[in-house]
Amino acid sequence: MSIYFTKEHEWVKVKEGIGAVGISEHAAHELGDVTFVELPKVGAVVKQFGVLGAIESVKAASDIYAPISGKVVKVNEALDDAPEIVNESAEDAGWMAWIEIADESELKNLMTREQYDEFLKNI
């Protein structure tokens, strides 16, 4: 399984043409206590870097952008009742949606874990 990141702090883990999407540990830490996650609708078609959903915390509200184009095939309904999962496990249990990837070549527009860690040092 490969993981890629955006400059907006989303991640996508790719396995067999499906991308699990969420926000990075860094983003979850910066937001503080997450109070609400607006998930996309199953069946929605999203474009790379287009708005996928939104997240609210005690500090801020922010859009979540799709790291990859495709169709939403599953959402993490657990976040409706327990948005704090994002704080506890942003890059695992706190995933937000699964996207059936339209074009895997778009992954080249994203950063690897190493590139993302380097990016974080410079912001």
- What pLDDT was estimated at residue 50? 98
- What pLDDT was estimated at residue 6? 98
Contact status, residue 106 vs residue 68, Cβ threshold 8 Å: yes
Pair of tokens at residue 36: 């609400």
Domains and CATH numbers, the chain: 2-121 (2.40.50.100)
Q: pLDDT at residue 88 above 90?
A: yes
Report the pLDDT averaged over residues 5-28. 97
Closest CA relative to residue 1, chosen from 9, 17, 49: 17
Side-chain half-sphere CA neighbours of 93 within 13 A: 10
- What pLDDT was estimated at residue 1? 78
Report the pLDDT averaged over residues 96-122. 97
Coil, helix or strand at residue 87? helix
Pair of tokens at residue 69: 């184009």
Pair of tokens at residue 93: 């249990």
- What pLDDT was estimated at residue 27? 97
> % helix / strand / coil in the chain, to the nearest 5?
25, 40, 35
How far is 18 from 97, CA to CA, in rounded Å? 10
- 0.85 exceeded by pTM: yes
Q: pLDDT at residue 84 above 90?
A: yes
Rounded mean pLDDT of the chain? 97
Report the pLDDT averaged over residues 86-97. 98
The tens digit of pLDDT for each residue in 37-64 reads 999 999 999 999 999 999 999 999 999 9
